[in-house]
């Protein structure tokens, strides 16, 4: 799944200038996707929506700067909503063949994109000439867009999940901001104290609709040491003690403690709207969930801190890692693919530029200092360069995220066919959070059977 895309204005253009010359040199005037004048046009989605004024301004400025560097390339931007990949909408665009030339997707979308027949193999074009930092990008992130040794997409963000908590509510509830919960039992105890503040505040909040419930079930299952599917990916693997514990934790907080609030069936914007309004004490998320809270839901960075994902009786045994990137629509010309790669290198994959341009960032729009995106391999040149720039230009309180950054939990990536699995697990999450009489064993059995059927059909 996704966290939240961010856009920053480009400050320096020297590195990609050389790449542009390389593309111009290899353009073929006779190519059907290249004009008689040698110009190339590509459509790219995930342009910020109009309500995201500052983000949209930076995106447009980046496009203008890129096109001035490469006058033979025209970028046509398309907005598909603030979330960029709303799963039902994304699936509909794939089915209808209306995706852009270079289109945004989650790491979990590869199989769906391949099944749709919309994916172009871009392996031969992905080199250090088109993407200079390619060797620094983590193998896990690359693997999410690779199938059978062939590359179908480019990762542009990687993340892992932890426990986000509202410092103000912690203090009001008499909790230690410097010592957040480390186990799910401690989360439950803290949630009761926060909910006791009243005024519609949920001590702990969670998703249960729009595929987000299944997403969080998976993260919480990883914390238990479980996995939603078997190692071969052919069967469901959550109808067990670990899966039961995930739902039991939630049921206890929801009904025994009444610490999760009465409004449920929350999707991505619902929970973050509540968080921005100061009505959520804790929730599971990635570091840049705080960015969405501030930029889209009127919250404040200084209200939030982050800790590692809790475990059942001690440290979490795993946490969910995921992210996003861009696929290339089947049928593009070589020049279009190269132009798309150059744009991604410019906007998403170069320290000091695009999403990594920290110099002009302002905390209300583009926070600097969050431990994300976790895109570059630790120790690599790009990682060192990016980290140095980030620390030199931090505009949020880095200390608020130090517990999370300094106590890494083993990352487990989302399973293949994740969106289909998540949609099914939404049912179990929503049942447990809306019906006090829902039977956990029954819900897990029902969901497990449906996932087995879905995985069998996906073969």
219-276, pLDDT tens digit by residue? 999 999 999 999 999 999 999 999 999 999 999 999 999 999 999 999 999 999 999 9
According to DSSP H, which parts of 103-231 are helical? 110-116, 139-143, 167-172, 184-195, 212-223
pLDDT given at position 8: 27
Q: What is the pLDDT of residue 18?
A: 38
Second-level CATH architecture of 162-285+417-457: 3-Layer(aba) Sandwich (3.40)
Helices (H), 117-240: 139-143, 167-172, 184-195, 212-223
Rg from Cα positions in the chain:
22
Query: CA-to-CA distance for 207 and 429, rounded, in angstroms?
Result: 8
User: In sequence order, which residues have a C-beta less than 8 Å from that of residue 452 and are 6 or more positions away?
Assistant: 235, 236
* pLDDT tens per residue, range 418-436: 889 999 999 999 999 999 9
**Regions in the chain scoring below 70 on pLDDT:** 1-36, 363-365
Of 211, 239, 251, 218, the closest CA to residue 112 belongs to: 211
Q: Tell me which residue of 197, 186, 203, 194 sits closest to 262, measured CA to CA.
A: 203
Does the domain spanning 14-159+322-399 belong to CATH 3.40.190.10?
A: yes
Distance CA 455, CA 459 (A): 7
The candidate with the shortest Cα–Cα distance to 25, out of 332, 326, 342, is 342
Write the CB contacts of 432 (distance below 8 Å, at least 6 apart in sequence).
247, 250, 251, 254, 438, 440, 443
Query: Any idea which residue has 């800790």 for tokens?
Result: 307
Domain boundaries for CATH 3.40.190.10 within the chain: 14-159+322-399, 162-285+417-457
Residue 19's pLDDT is what?
37
Instruction: Count Cβ atoms within 10 A of the Cβ of residue 160 and give its class: 0-12 exposed, 13-18 middle, 19 or more buried.
Output: buried
């Amino acid at each position: 799944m996704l966290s939240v895309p961010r856009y920053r204005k480009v400050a320096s253009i020297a590195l990609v200038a050389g790449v542009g010359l390389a593309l111009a040199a290899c353009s073929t005037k006779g190519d059907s996707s290249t004009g008689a004048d040698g110009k190339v046009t590509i459509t790219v989605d995930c342009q910020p929506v109009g309500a995201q004024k500052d983000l949209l301004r930076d995106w447009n400025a980046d496009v203008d700067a890129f096109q001035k560097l490469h006058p033979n390339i025209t970028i046509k931007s398309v907005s598909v909503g603030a979330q960029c990949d709303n799963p039902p909408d994304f699936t509909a665009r794939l089915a209808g063949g209306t995706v852009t030339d270079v289109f945004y997707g989650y790491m979990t979308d590869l199989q769906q994109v391949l099944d749709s027949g919309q994916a172009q193999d871009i392996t031969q074009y992905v080199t250090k000439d088109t993407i200079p930092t390619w060797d620094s990008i983590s193998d896990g992130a690359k693997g999410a867009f690779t199938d059978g040794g062939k590359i179908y997409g480019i990762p542009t963000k990687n993340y892992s999940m932890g426990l986000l908590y509202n410092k103000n509510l912690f203090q009001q509830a008499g909790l230690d901001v410097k010592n957040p919960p480390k186990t799910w039992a401690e989360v439950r105890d803290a949630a009761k104290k926060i909910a006791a503040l009243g005024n519609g505040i949920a001590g702990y909040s969670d998703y249960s609709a729009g595929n987000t419930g299944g997403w969080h079930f998976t993260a919480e299952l990883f914390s238990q040491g479980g996995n939603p599917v078997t190692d071969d990916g052919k069967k469901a693997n959550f109808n067990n003690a670990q899966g039961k514990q995930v739902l039991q934790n939630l049921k206890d907080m929801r009904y025994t403690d009444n610490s999760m609030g009465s409004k449920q069936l929350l999707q991505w914007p619902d929970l973050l709207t509540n968080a921005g309004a100061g009505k959520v004490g804790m929730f599971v998320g990635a570091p840049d969930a705080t960015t969405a809270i501030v930029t889209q839901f009127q919250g404040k960075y200084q209200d939030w801190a982050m800790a590692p994902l809790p475990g059942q009786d001690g440290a979490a045994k795993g946490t969910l890692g995921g992210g996003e990137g861009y696929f290339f629509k089947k049928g593009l010309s070589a020049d279009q693919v190269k132009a798309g790669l150059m744009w991604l290198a410019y906007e998403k994959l170069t320290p000091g530029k695009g999403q990594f341009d920290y110099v002009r960032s302002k905390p209300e729009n583009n926070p600097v200092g969050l431990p994300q995106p976790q895109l570059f391999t630790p120790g690599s040149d790009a990682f060192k360069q990016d980290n140095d720039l980030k620390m030199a230009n931090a505009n949020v309180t880095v200390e608020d995220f130090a517990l999370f950054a300094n106590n890494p939990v083993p990352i487990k990536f989302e399973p293949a066919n994740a969106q289909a699995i998540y949609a099914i697990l939404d049912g179990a999450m929503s049942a447990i959070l809306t019906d006090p009489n829902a039977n956990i064993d029954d819900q897990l059995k029902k969901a497990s059977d449906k996932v087995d059927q879905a995985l069998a059909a996906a073969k």
